[in-house]
Amino acid sequence: MKKVSIIIPFYNCPYVDQAILSVLNQSYENIELIVVNDGSTKHTEKIYPFLHNIHLYIEKPNGGTGSALNEGIKNATGDYFAWLSSDDRFAPHKIQKQIQYMESTSADICHSAYAQIDERGTILTPSIGLHFQQRLPFLKKMKEGSFINGSTIMMKMDVFTHIGLFNESLLYTQDYDLWLRILRKYSFRYIHEPLVQYRLHESMGTKRFEKEMTEEIELVQQQHHLMMEWLILKELKKTIILKGGEAMTVLLDARTSQNASFENSINIPLTDGPVLTGIVGLNTTGAAGSVTTQFGGTVTVQGRPGSLGLAGITINIYRGQDPTGTLVYSATENMNFTQGTATENPITVISFAGSDFQVANPDDLLIYTMFVQTSTAGTGNILLRVGPESFNASVYDYNN
């Protein structure tokens, strides 16, 4: 049975006894409760009745939630980490349900929905939480701000080995900063059930320090801006292909912080059609406010036995993530591929090159989308379907 270390950071909180009780009443037995007193000057008497049940009680000078959590983590011996704010409460089966879920799915980190309660513990909102089926919308939402309740988190202890501990210089957003760092290597899983009761009260930090929190959120977002843009871009590379649509998309990207070059490989066996292969390249030059993007490459069209005939191929490059952007390049090659046979597999090589100028600032992300559209011979120029399973794109060189 895996051990779960639960850390309660405590600073002048009148509800700490309820938090401790909710941990001691967990249905999962193999837990390690660590309470870290972060220089409290009042309400410490609420802890004393539980000292014989608390596995480790630490007193330290006040340094903020991040420093208290780090102190607990450094002294923890569990396989998993969980955190409970001293004014919140765990549901009785919180730890059991999360560890069963994580063990069965091999998850590294997960969070859950939560309920809102008032000062008396009355439930105000039964369930709050955001769940995303795909990583891309999750990343976009996290870029805007944290929607994860820290008390709902459970994660493997070795995540800290790869990511590092909480940033103690951040007094209000140490959790948001850590979640963004974790996203570099891991994905968050989600449990729909509310496993935490989150208390709303007049003395809570989110009310008393709203201005300071807003400023610190903006600071964290600035620090992680480029990393989040790159993570989003990597997901776009996986999902930009129009699923079930009539065209194939290659995502080209560049940063303006320094000159950059990229290459994407193409290998597309068209549905009932020839095979498209080739190399698409992109290069950016220039400084802040003046960026020129050069793109070009070759696309080879090769017939195959039993494939439909091909009447033409069009290459369109748009500025942006889809065809609603500005069209910056278009080239059409007419061809006369008849239906493929075992002995006749014609080959046509199409070369293209173009450029685009943009006014951009350092660290802006430039995205270009290339659509390769093919029309079948004798069918009224109907586009062939290209599924996502038939497209491979690899970035050979990028600048962090």
Fold of 240-390: Immunoglobulin-like (2.60.40)
pLDDT at 355: 80
Average pLDDT over residues 148-164: 96
pLDDT at 56 over 70: yes
pLDDT-based confidence at residue 179 (cuts at 50, 70, 90):
very high
Average pLDDT over residues 136-161: 95
In the chain, the N- to C-terminal Cα span, in Å, equals 41
pLDDT at 252: 44
Q: Kindly report the CATH number that applies to the domain delimited by 4-227.
A: 3.90.550.10
pLDDT at 385 over 60: no
* Cβ burial, residue 282 (10 Å; 0-12/13-18/19+): buried
Cα separation, 132 vs 48, whole angstroms: 42
pLDDT at 248: 37
Q: State how far the alpha carbon of 49 is from the alpha carbons of 8, 13, 46, 202, 261, in Å.
A: 16, 16, 7, 26, 64
- For the chain, helix, strand, coil in percent to 5 are 25, 35, 40
The chain-wide mean pLDDT, for the chain, equals 78
Give me the amino acid identity at 370.
M
pLDDT at 394: 30
Domains 4-227 and 240-390 belong to one CATH topology? no
CA 51 to chain centre: 40
Domain definitions of the chain by residue range: 4-227, 240-390
pLDDT at 239: 47
Strand pairing report for 31-38 and 4-10? parallel
pLDDT at 396: 26
Average pLDDT over residues 251-260: 41
Q: Is the pTM for the entire model greater than 0.75? A: no
Q: Report the 10 Å Cβ neighbour count for 169.
A: 12
Q: Tokens at residue 207, please?
A: 């009310």
pLDDT at 224: 86
pLDDT at 16: 97
pLDDT at 168: 95
pLDDT at 390: 28
* Cβ burial, residue 255 (10 Å; 0-12/13-18/19+): buried
